[in-house]
Structure 1
Amino acid sequence: MARVPSSVGTRKRLKEMLAGDPGEIDTSVFVRQAVRLMIEEALEAEVSERLSRGYYERGPMAEAPGTPRGYRNGVRVGRLKTAEGVIEYGVPQVRGIEGWQSEIRAALGGKSEELERLAVEMYARGLSMRDIEAAFTGADGRCLLSRSAASRVCEALWADYQEFARRDLSGIEVAYLFIDGVAERLHLGQPREAVLAAWAITMTGTKVLLGLQPGTKEDTVCCSDFLRDLKARGLADPVLVVTDGAPGLIRAVEECLPRALRQRCLAHKLRNLETKVPAERWREVKAMALAAYHASSPKTAELAADEFRHTYANELPSGVKCFDDDFAACITYLRLPVAHRRATRTTNLLERLFLEERRRSHTIPHAFGERAVLKLMYAALQRASGTWQRVALTDFERKQLLTLREELDREFTEKHRVTQSASRSPISSKRGT
């Protein structure tokens, strides 16, 4: 049986991890495997450079008859102590070259923190050439990898990231879907552009990051493309979708996910309302607005909303208009199980992730360009998502969601039937002629 490089087995294990449920990935194990892959590919590239040939390739003849050319002679285990624990990796052995030792392996001891940082970000930033060269630069300032070897490592890791970004979502049963956008400088010297992100709470209570994609702006076309990409990868209509008030995003959700309920993010809504109210009156107005938004049921919410309108109709007409705008979507979450309402009324989790991403982007000022920014954002979001706590879902609550799902399917079917009937009616036909 032909021997294969150690990195092949490590890459296979990483792919198997990524092929499963993203929410079940053990971040510590993932980082250790990623560091191991980087080290093994770097060591294998170093040996290939020294021998002037890859695995099972013929190299040039020796410079003089009888001069040893050197050859591979198996693999032994190396160990690296890191904050994530001891990482074992395959060290290719070379025979036939007297006194030869791996310079990369000799320099690894003081690079563990750098390698861990790069391992977390390699699926986000694809490891730029600058990153790889910095990780494998010795104490004397000399890079221990040739540019061709560093390029091979860089491209291999970027291919892994792309595979992760295209992963199948059909095995993820989504209950609640959250979508938001953040403005980023994707192109140097150009205005900030929207990057759309989506995460979900599954029917098992797991929180999962699903997608990250440039949208140019939060218009209907860009948002629809984002949602269609998720659906093309197997995402089914969730029970509820939570968004901010961007008109393009709202229309895209209604068009692409017609079987789902839509919830307007209450955090965004309250910020909009505050701009319409004098500062000295905000505490009072906010309390009355929350009485409606946080009511115990949709009917109670409507009663509280009537009280709000009656109280401020003459004094704060612009505030009442803002409060009324899309009010039904602001209280949609009241149809959900009581224990889930707090977790589904805002997109705050994405907001916190965006803040973390912004904090990290300031420390890497050279991350310009769509590819670099997207990869950096993914690194920050994926790292933060590792701390997400599950949402408790009892059997009774799961049955409630399934019942609501059936109700929504019936509502969609009936609405579709009525629409089809109207389009075929004699009156419609005459108007068409």
Structure 2
Amino acid sequence: MSEQEKVVDSSDEAARRLAAVLPDEAIDNLLADAESSGTPVDGVHGLLNRLTSRVLERALETEMTDHLGYEPGDPAGRGSGNSRNGRSAKTVATTAGPVNVTVPRDRNSTFAPQIVPKHSRRVGAIEDIILSLYARGLSTREIEAHLKEIYDINTSPALISKITDVVVDEITLWQNRPVDEVYPIVYVDAIRIRVRDRGSVTLKSAHLVVGVDVDGLKDVLGIWIAAEEGAKFWAHVLTQLRNRGLRDVLILCCDGLTGLPDAARSVFDKVTVQTCVVHVIRNTMRFISYGDRKKVATAMRHIYTAPGVAAAEIALKEFEQNFGQQYPGAIEVWKNAWNEFIPFLDYPAELRRIVYTTNLIESINYQLRKITKTRGHFPDDDAAMKLLFLGIRNISRKRGGASGTGTHGWKKALNFLVVEFPGRLT
């Protein structure tokens, strides 16, 4: 059972115990009193708000008793060196709206409450709500308006930005965490974002690296933002992964990223660089008129479904004879990608289906694009990284946790990999 499931079960158990403590008769009396006094059930001045205030105050009193070691009025407190010293009032933001509470104080000022921490103006899930809304692409001003409308909580874009900054340390740990020694397959792809840099808005790429481990589980190994890419940039990225424990990659699947194949071979000398076949098809289709797309797609299929390199070369020659004069740009796409495409032809069908495309990353990138496209641009790389990280974390939770999901047909593919790459999968 995951930690998240344990928390849910614990919450359900607490709710059941609370229901047992509060019988239907007591709840009916509360509702009747609220109705007779004209008090609404929810809202800023509603019954739930007042109950929240009372529960918080009771929890604070319990914390004070635990801190001092004796109950109010207990003779055991005499001569203890510390005692209760009145209360101070404060208003805190909760999901029930602003709640007024009185916080007990001790004479030595050593009491540090946990349920309503000192100087805190937010309690419970408010910060989690802000992080969740931010991870879904809402801007700080949109979150400010949402909290005011739904919870009657006054915030500011600066405060919301400060709250989301709590993940900065988490990002650093995530980007530097240890990784596995070997990944049979690593996918690399990128999304384009706009970032303000040196006074002007620049188009940059956020490169996503996803590894498939020996159990077939997918894991985002990191995100790297850069305005330009090349062998030096990719050598830096791959060296970081090596320093984090990665020693071998069997197949690196990517979309013709400049300098990546050479950098990959320099860092992992035995790696096989495989271009994404779907990207080659898409890049080819950019040169094809709408009326010819169907027959061009049929002709290309003979290339990437060929049983071997020789058959694929024949299919490419036929493709060039039929369309080369009309669409020379399409032929050029295949020729430029050929060296990184042909390893694909040596794989059995089970493995071809897995390395055929970087759609694994593209499905993640699609969701990241949804949350980044609402921003005109980011003020800096750190702001972009913060949103992308929260988006990845949100996606990972939906997909079953930090380890991600499995890979369909992995066992058959793994058996081929063990034979094709002897001694490299341990």
Q: TM-score, normalised by structure 1?
A: 0.61
1:70, 1:197 → 2: CA distance? Answer: 55
User: Is 1:158–2:174 an aligned residue pair?
Assistant: no
Query: 2:306 matched to 1:295?
Result: yes
Residue 401 (structure 1) shift: 0.9
SS of aligned partner of 2:248: coil
User: 1:38 maps to what in 2?
Assistant: none
The answer on whether the counterparts of 2:208 and 2:223 sit within 8 Å (CA) in structure 1 is yes
Against the structure 1 CA distance between its residues 306 and 137, is the aligned structure 2 distance closer, same or farther, given a 3 Å change threshold?
closer
Match of 2:131 in 1: 118
Which segments of structure 1 move beyond 6 Å, counting only runs of 4 or more? 24-33, 103-107, 127-132, 134-138
- State the one-letter code of the partner of 1:115: D
**Residue 420 (structure 2) pairs with residue 404 (structure 1):** yes
Post-superposition offset of 1:400: 2.2
Contact 1:209 1:382 in 2 (8 A): no
Write the distance in 2 (CA, Å) between the matches of 1:246 and 1:370: 21
Q: Which residue of 2 aligns with 1:333?
A: 344
1:300–1:81 Cα change, 3 Å: farther
Question: Which of these two proteins has the greater Rg computed from alpha carbons?
Answer: 2
Q: SS of 2:201's equivalent?
A: coil
Moved more, 381-390 or 263-272: 381-390
Q: Please list every run of 5 or more consecutive structure 1 residues that lacks an aligned counterpart in the other structure.
A: 1-23, 34-42, 52-65, 72-79, 83-92, 410-433
How much identity, in percent, do the aligned residues show?
A: 18
Could you tell me how far apart the structure 2 residues matched to 1:361 and 1:290 are? 34
Look up the match of 1:232.
243
Counterpart Cα distance in 2 of 1:32 and 1:154: 27
Is the Cα–Cα contact under 8 Å of residues 297 and 335 in structure 1 kept in the other structure?
Answer: yes
SS in structure 2 at match of 1:181: strand
Shift of 1:206: 0.4
Say if 1:168 and 1:234, in contact at 8 Å, map to a contact too.
yes
**How far apart, CA to CA, are the structure 2 residues paired with 1:364 and 1:167?**
29
Q: Is the 8 A contact 2:116 2:123 kept in 1?
A: no
- In structure 2, distance between residues paired with 1:129 and 1:267: 39
Q: Equivalent residue for 2:78?
A: none
Alignment of 1:192-271 (within 5 A): 192-271=203-282
Q: 1:170 aligns with which of 149, 168, 180?
A: 180
| 1:181 aligned onto 2:190 | yes
Query: How big is the shift at 1:232?
Result: 1.3
Q: What is the alpha-carbon distance in structure 2 between the residues aligned to residue 333 and residue 232 of structure 1?
A: 29
- Give matches, 1:131-150, under 5 Å: 141=153
1:285 aligned partner: 296
Q: Give the 3-state SS of the residue equivalent to 2:273 in structure 1.
A: strand
Q: Which amino acid aligns with 1:243?
A: C
Distance 1:31 1:161, change over 3 A: farther
Instruction: Please tell me the residue identity of whatever aligns with 1:228.
Output: T
Calculate the TM-score normalised by the size of structure 2: 0.62
**Number of aligned residues:** 332
